[in-house]
């Protein structure tokens, strides 16, 4: 394998992943801002990012597949390329979850929020950081950072549990706000799924370094 | 791969090999299982062909070459001249070389050469051996109507299969292959690789290759050599996906070599 050329191609791939991750972070941040500010325009902007995300995904896919075709990587190189391919699927799905959040928020823009929603921005900020960290852990081959992402998912899960209990109580106490409670619960579920996707990425980053995925040898 | 019924057919124990003062193999230890394909990889001069040539004692032909340690084939030390006759050894351990080396004689005689040397005289028996060997080497259909034509008229890929058929004609247990496809086009290479898969049902194959994709495609286990040492020996998928040895990783990913 022509090592220098391979290194260059890998660096370009890393740069594109960082750029894609930055876009995804922005999408998560914007979707939550749209929720707190009840901003319909911002919702529509988040939804419109779909094409940009798909272009990033297609470009990275194309680069990774070309590397496989031309360099026929093995060992850690093969693990790195396959991890990049797995990552972009999760990143694309994260963007999809953020879009789904905005589609819900559009229904809520003209309503007065009854429940306080401080848990949702908290979950959003954590997931945004998870996305940043998991892509960074890949680029820097930093297993501690990947482990941190996996741990953060537990915090997200417990916040979602808290949200769930709060919303159930609201439905019981003030049934007229049941629809809002359900919408917020759905937003929380989407954020929780974003956490799961970031955790998936972190697991693949661990594979990329160790050759084991969730402690199981794939090859 | 089920290894439960397989046993080591070749056992390499503490093998050191010297060409004069130069040490070409250093304390090599490992077992090769029967009816498996084992690939030797490593940069030029790492000792892989040297070890291959030990298995049929072709190494004896090199002046000033000394071997310490043991190589057991079927539990018998091949260097123990009281227990192992070298002619018998070379019947059991056939070899195919980098460049096809068909003899300048007919296709039939190329195959019959070995059996005749080992005393087979009956025409009918020789006919059977020739056909059987050519069938096993995947060449029968292509040459059955021109068995009396010179082997040298065949294409490179066909000549290499003729050499494999010639090796099979003396009923070996082990076939050594020293870069058997490096002089062949991709189609002929593919045919030989598929043939190896089929031959594995009945024979043990040890192949030296510089083509790592080939090792990945056809071998069950791979041994990585560097400067006379065997640094890693593992199931091929494992070695090429998650090598334990850093130098092996660096070699297969193209960081050196």
CB A74 to CB B237 under 8 A?
no
CB of A68 within 8 Å of a chain B CB? The answer is: no
Chains A, B: CB contacts within 8 A come to 39
Dihedral (C-alpha) A21, A25, A26, A30: value to the nearest 10 degrees?
Answer: 150
Residue A115: predicted pLDDT: 72
Q: What is the mean pLDDT of residues B105-124?
A: 96
| Nearest C-alpha in B relative to A80 | B241
Average pLDDT over residues B93-105: 96
Residues of B in contact with A1 (CB under 8 A): 253-254
pTM of the model: 0.90
Q: Are A207 and A213 in contact (CB under 8 A)?
A: yes
Q: Do B72 and B78 touch, CB atoms closer than 8 A?
A: yes
**Beta strand pairing status for B76-77 and B65-73?**
antiparallel
Which residue in A3, A76, A210 is closest to B249 by CB distance? Answer: A76
Does the pLDDT of residue A168 top 60, yes or no? Answer: yes
Q: Which CATH architecture has domain A3-217?
A: Up-down Bundle (1.20)
Per DSSP, the residues of A126-181 read HHHHHHHHHHHHHHTT-HHHHHHHHHHHHHHHHHHHHHHHHHHHHHHH-GGGHHHH
Q: What's CA B234's distance to the chain center, in Å?
A: 18
**What is the sign, positive or negative, of the torsion defined by CA atoms of B9, B13, B19, B24?**
positive
Q: Check A74 against B242: CB less than 8 A apart.
A: no
Measured CA distances, A10 to A20, A179, B219 (Å) = 15, 48, 29
Boundaries of every domain in chain B: 8-252
Domain boundaries, chain A: 3-217
Q: Residue B243: list chain A partners with CB under 8 A.
A: 75
Question: What architecture (CATH level 2) is domain B8-252?
Answer: 3-Layer(aba) Sandwich (3.40)
Give pLDDT tens digits for A94-103. Answer: 999 999 999 9
What is d(CA A24, CA A92) in angstroms, rounded to the nearest whole number?
8
SS3 label, residue A172: helix
Which helix or strand (DSSP H or E) is residue B17 part of?
Answer: strand B8-19
Nearest-CA residue of chain B relative to A79? B241
The interface predicted TM-score of the complex, written ipTM, equals 0.83
Is A77 an interface residue toward B (CB < 8 Å)? Answer: yes
Residue of A7, A9, A70, A74 to mutate, testing the B interface (most B Cβ within 10 Å of its Cβ): A74
A73 CB neighbours in chain B (<8 A) are 253
The residue assigned the tokens 């801002």 is: A33
B253 contacts chain A (CB < 8 A): yes
**pLDDT per residue as tens digits for the range B122-178:** 999 999 999 999 999 999 999 999 999 999 999 999 999 999 999 999 999 999 999
């Amino acid at each position: 394998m022509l090592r220098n050329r391979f290194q260059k191609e890998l660096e370009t791939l890393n740069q594109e992943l960082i750029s894609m991750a930055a876009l995804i972070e922005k999408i998560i941040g914007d979707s939550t801002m749209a929720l707190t500010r009840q901003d319909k325009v911002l919702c529509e902007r988040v939804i419109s990012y779909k094409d940009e995300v798909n272009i990033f995904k297609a470009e990275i896919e194309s680069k990774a597949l070309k590397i496989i075709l031309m360099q026929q990587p093995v060992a850690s190189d093969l693990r790195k390329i396959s991890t990049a391919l797995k990552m972009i699927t999760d990143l694309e799905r994260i963007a999809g979850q953020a879009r789904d959040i905005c589609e819900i928020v559009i229904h809520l823009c003209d309503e007065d929020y009854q429940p306080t929603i401080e848990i949702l921005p908290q979950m959003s900020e954590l997931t945004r950081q998870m996305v940043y960290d998991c892509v960074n852990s890949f680029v820097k081959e930093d297993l501690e950072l990947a482990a941190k992402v996996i741990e953060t998912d537990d915090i997200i899960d417990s916040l979602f549990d808290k949200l769930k209990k709060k919303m159930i109580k609201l439905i019981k106490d003030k049934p007229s706000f049941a629809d809002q409670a359900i919408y917020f619960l759905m937003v929380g579920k989407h954020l929780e799924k974003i956490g799961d996707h970031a955790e998936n990425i972190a697991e693949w980053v661990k594979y990329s370094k160790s050759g084991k995925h969730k402690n199981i040898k794939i090859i | 791969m089920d290894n439960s019924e397989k046993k080591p057919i070749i056992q390499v124990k503490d093998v050191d090999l010297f060409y004069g003062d130069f040490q070409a193999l250093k304390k090599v230890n490992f077992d090769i299982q029967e009816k498996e394909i084992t690939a030797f990889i490593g940069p030029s001069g790492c000792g892989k062909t040297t070890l291959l040539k030990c298995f049929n004692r072709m190494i004896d032909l090199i002046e000033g070459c000394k071997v310490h340690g043991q190589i057991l084939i079927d539990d018998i030390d091949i260097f123990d001249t009281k227990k192992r006759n070298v002619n018998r050894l070379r019947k059991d351990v056939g070899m195919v070389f980098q460049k096809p080396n068909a003899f300048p004689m007919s296709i039939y005689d190329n195959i019959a050469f070995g059996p005749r040397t080992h005393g087979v005289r009956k025409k009918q028996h020789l006919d059977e051996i020739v056909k059987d060997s050519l069938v096993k080497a995947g060449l029968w259909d292509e040459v059955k109507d021109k068995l009396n034509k010179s082997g040298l008229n065949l294409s490179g890929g066909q000549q290499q299969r003729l050499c494999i058929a010639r090796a099979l004609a003396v009923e070996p247990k082990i076939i050594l292959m020293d870069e058997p496809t490096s002089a062949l086009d991709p189609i002929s290479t593919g045919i030989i690789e598929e043939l190896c898969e089929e031959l594995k049902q009945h024979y043990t194959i040890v192949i030296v290759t510089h083509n790592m994709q080939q090792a990945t495609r056809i071998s069950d286990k791979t041994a990585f050599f560097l400067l006379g040492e065997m640094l890693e020996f593992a199931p091929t998928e494992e070695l090429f996906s998650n090598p334990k040895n850093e130098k092996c990783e660096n070699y297969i990913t193209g960081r050196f070599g």
